[in-house]
Each structure stands twice: as C-alpha cells, then as structure tokens.
C-alpha cells in the first residue's frame, strides 16, 4: 500500500492548483488514464518510481473565514493523524499571516515529515521575500510556482526520499472486498442484507458510517473479508472534520482491497463522484463490480436495464469490461448474485496464463492485425508473457516498442479479454524491447 501525503494550509494559497498540477502531469508524476473525471480531491501520484496518494484538504471546509478559523485546527490534526507526510503551503504574496502561524504551531509538534512550501514564487524578488517564512519555525522551505510547476521537482525529490517504507503486513490470506460509493447509496444496508443481521448502523442520513469496518463472510461456500467504508462525497459537500477523516480511510480501504464493490443509487446514476471512485479503484488496479442499488424503486418507472447499463458503460469508457448487477438491498434482490460476481472478478484478477498458451492464441491474431507501420518501419512482436504481479500485466516483446501507440495497445487488451476472460479487472499492457 502506498503512503498518503496531505496538503494543508489556509484558503487561497494555491493548494488546489498545486494538487491539480501533481495529478495532471502525466509524463512524470501520474500514470494518467484517459477519461478520468477531473473533479476530485485525492489522486495517485508517482515520482522517481515511488507511489503515494495525494490528498487536498483545502476544499474540505466550506464557509466564511470565521468558520474556517474555527475548523482549520481540526482539519490539520486529522491530516497529521492519517497522513505519512504533510505539505504545508503558504503564499509569498501575503507573507506570514496569523492563520499560518496557528497551523505552524500544530505542525512543529509533529513527528512526521513536514514540508513548508512557499507558493507563487515566480521571480527573484519573491524568492528574497520568502526568507521571512523562517519565522514559522519549521526549518528549511521549498519555493514553488504551482501555476507553471517551477520548483516542484526539487520538492518531490525530497518528499519521496522522506516517505517511510511500507512494511508488508502478514495477514490472513483471505480476499478483501471493499464496499465503496458515495454516502447514502445503501452500502451498509447491502452488507446487513448479506450477513443477515444489523451489524452496521443504517440510517437515511448521508455519512453515517465514519470508518472502514471489516467483517469475515463465510456463507454459501465463499470466505472473504467484507469491508464497509464511509461514503466518498464530492469535496464541496464535505463539511465536517469527521467526514474528511472518512474520505481518507476510504482511500486506504480501496488501496487494501482486492475487489471493490461500487454501490450507486439507481435514482442518481453513475454521476461525477461515482466516476471518481470508479477511476480511483481502476488506477489502483483493483477488481471492480458495479452494483446499481434501489433498483426496485426504478423498476416501477419501467426503466430498461439494457438502456441504463448502456448509459453507465458509455461513462466508463475506455474501461467498459466491468460487471454491472442491479440489486435492492431492501428486498435482497440479487444481493447474492453480487457476491458471486465479486468472487468471479477476484478469480479473474488472480488468473495466470501460461506463456505457451498466450503465444498460441495471440500470435495468429497479431500476424493478421499487425501494428501499423511508423515512418516506414514495421513492428514485429516476437512473443508475449504474463508478468509475475498480483494483477494481470502482460509484456509484448518486439523490435520497436516505441512505435506501438495506445490504440493498438487497447486492441491487444481487448483480445486478451476476449480470449482469456478478465471481466472486471484492469489489464496493463507493456511493450518491451526484444
């Protein structure tokens, strides 16, 4: 599991601009996926071969400055508690403010790596002005300009160097299925219906579940850990400090899971925030099953399952090979079908294909539909093998890997899915030099 890095600071210092730059700088930091919804407040980042999850705390408190002054200490304390490292951002234009000093007072007591980052330093004069931030008592600082990325490389070098190495935890070798989704979609009701008892508090108030809770499930011949997570809400809606804590825990639950059961409210559909959660699970290379809950209410409106499913798959593009199960936690409609599907996805994620079988099946297809020539040069794929990783990853060895473009990689991925059955599982295709 990767580390978590939280960005803290008062409003309007450029935290979100910095966050967006970290997430969108696909060639160096993020293994970005086309089609990912941009409106999110957490993301998977990579620098110098080390991955971490980045959390933008700036938008979690909504309201006037007076309310913010009352809440900022809670936000920072929660970020300190859950994160492995803290980026404390300030604004060189405003200089040291009282709110900056309050946050710095909390951070001086922290035993975790804290990086004082001075934003909007885009010329020599502002670099000189940055010296006054030594007064915060946090030692050396880093100057950046989030708007154009200046200085971020040096900061990230130091950040990944300071992140602690995550130890492998010896745990019971059971699959972990995380039930995720936005608040009030029916996640806890779904688990209660499965286990046959009211293990979790279920109410109509969004955000009732505050933490991730595990239940060992061993009915009907299936045995796995079932994890109920707090709902992940759009950041403009997250107003409580406890809910912010829940979002961070949900991100961790997804990272720990083997399969994510993404529960959505049929009346709301596959909206922007559900898409955020879907792409977070996909970027973490987890198995995914989409559960359309409260279908008993929609059925009365005579909505077509096929039409509804097509709408969802359109929003999932390009990763559309995902099982969709229409359920009702209230009436227990198809809830066991949901679990059977999740087990199948888990098996797909663990599937290993022999090298000889891969080549016997795919080489004739490749010979018939070879990669397009590039600048008069022809790509010849010699052989294929599955890499020894927890999730399906395949290496295609060829003479000119740099000339194989994304459309052909998607073609190869589709052929892998058609012939070997990886429903619900992200696949990684790599072109390697032979």
pLDDT in tens, 191-245: 888 877 554 444 444 444 444 556 777 766 777 888 877 555 555 555 544 445 5
- In the chain, the percentage of residues whose pLDDT exceeds 70 is 77
Which pLDDT score, from 0 to 100, does residue 40 have?
A: 34
Q: Flag whether pLDDT at 12 surpasses 60.
A: yes
- pLDDT tens for 375-430 read 788 888 888 999 998 889 999 999 988 888 888 999 999 999 999 989 989 999 99
d(CA 305, CA 303): 6
The mean pLDDT value of the chain amounts to 78
- In the chain, the percentage of residues whose pLDDT exceeds 90 is 20
Tokens in use for 225?
């850990």
Q: What mean pLDDT is predicted for residues 294-310? A: 76
Most confident residue range from 39-48, 262-271, 346-355 = 346-355
- pLDDT tens for 15-55 read 878 887 887 643 333 333 322 222 335 667 888 878 888 87
pLDDT range class, residue 287, cuts 50, 70, 90: very high
Summary count for the chain: helices (H), strands (E): 13, 15
Half-sphere exposure of 96 (CA within 13 A, CB side): 16
Point out the least confidently predicted range of 67-81, 186-200, 213-227, 342-356.
67-81
Query: For residues 261 and 32, which has the higher predicted lDDT (pLDDT)?
Result: 261
Q: Flag whether pLDDT at 279 surpasses 90.
A: no
pLDDT range class, residue 249, cuts 50, 70, 90: low
User: How many residues in the chain?
Assistant: 434
Closest CA to 277 of 325, 344, 340, 230: 230
∠ CA 242-245-251, nearest 5°, is 145
Which pLDDT score, from 0 to 100, does residue 127 have?
A: 87
Cβ atoms of 263 and 291 within 8 Å: the answer is: yes
Please give the backbone phi and psi of residue 56, each rounded to the nearest 5 degrees, phi first: -95, 110
Cβ atoms of 333 and 295 within 8 Å: the answer is: yes
Q: What mean pLDDT is predicted for residues 280-294? A: 90
């Amino acid at each position: 599991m990767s580390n978590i890095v939280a960005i803290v600071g008062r409003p309007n210092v450029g935290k979100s601009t910095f966050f967006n730059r970290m997430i969108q700088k696909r060639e160096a930091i993020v293994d970005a996926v086309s089609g990912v919804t941009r409106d999110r407040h957490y993301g998977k980042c990579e620098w110098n071969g080390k991955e971490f999850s980045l959390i933008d705390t700036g938008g979690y408190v909504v309201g006037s400055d007076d309310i913010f002054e009352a809440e900022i200490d809670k936000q920072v304390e929660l970020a300190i508690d859950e994160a492995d490292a803290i980026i404390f951002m300030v604004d060189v234009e405003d200089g040291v403010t009282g709110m900056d000093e309050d946050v710095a007072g909390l951070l001086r007591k922290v035993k975790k790596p804290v990086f004082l980052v001075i934003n909007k330093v885009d010329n020599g004069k502002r670099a000189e002005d940055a010296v006054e931030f030594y007064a915060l008592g946090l030692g050396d600082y880093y100057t950046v300009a989030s708007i154009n990325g200046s200085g971020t490389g040096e900061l990230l070098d130091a950040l990944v160097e300071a992140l602690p190495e995550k130890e492998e935890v010896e745990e019971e070798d059971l699959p972990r299925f995380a039930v995720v989704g936005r608040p009030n979609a029916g996640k806890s009701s779904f688990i209660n219906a499965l286990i046959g008892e009211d293990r979790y508090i279920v109410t109509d108030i969004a955000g009732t579940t505050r933490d991730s809770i595990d239940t060992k499930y061993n009915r009907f011949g299936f045995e796995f850990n079932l994890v109920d997570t707090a709902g992940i809400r759009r950041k403009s809606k997250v107003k409580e400090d406890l809910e912010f804590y829940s979002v961070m825990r949900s991100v961790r639950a997804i990272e720990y899971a083997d399969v994510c059961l993404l529960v959505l409210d049929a009346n709301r559909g596959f909206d922007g925030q559900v898409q955020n959660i879907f792409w977070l699970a996909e970027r973490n290379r987890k198995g995914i099953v989409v559960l359309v809950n409260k279908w008993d209410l929609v059925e009365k409106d005579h909505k077509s399952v096929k039409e509804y499913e097509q709408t969802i798959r359109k929003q999932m593009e390009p990763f559309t090979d995902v099982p969709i199960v229409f359920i009702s936690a209230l009436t227990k409609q198809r809830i066991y079908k949901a679990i059977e599907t999740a087990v199948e996805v888990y098996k797909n994620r663990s599937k290993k294909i022999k090298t000889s079988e891969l080549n016997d099946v795919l080489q004739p297809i490749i010979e018939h539909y070879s990669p397009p020539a590039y600048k008069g040069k022809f790509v010849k794929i010699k052989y294929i093998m599955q890499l020894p990783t927890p999730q399906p990853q395949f290496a295609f060895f060829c003479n000119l890997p740099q000339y194989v473009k994304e459309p052909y990689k998607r073609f190869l991925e589709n052929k892998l899915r058609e012939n070997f059955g990886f429903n619900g599982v992200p696949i990684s295709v790599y072109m390697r030099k032979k």
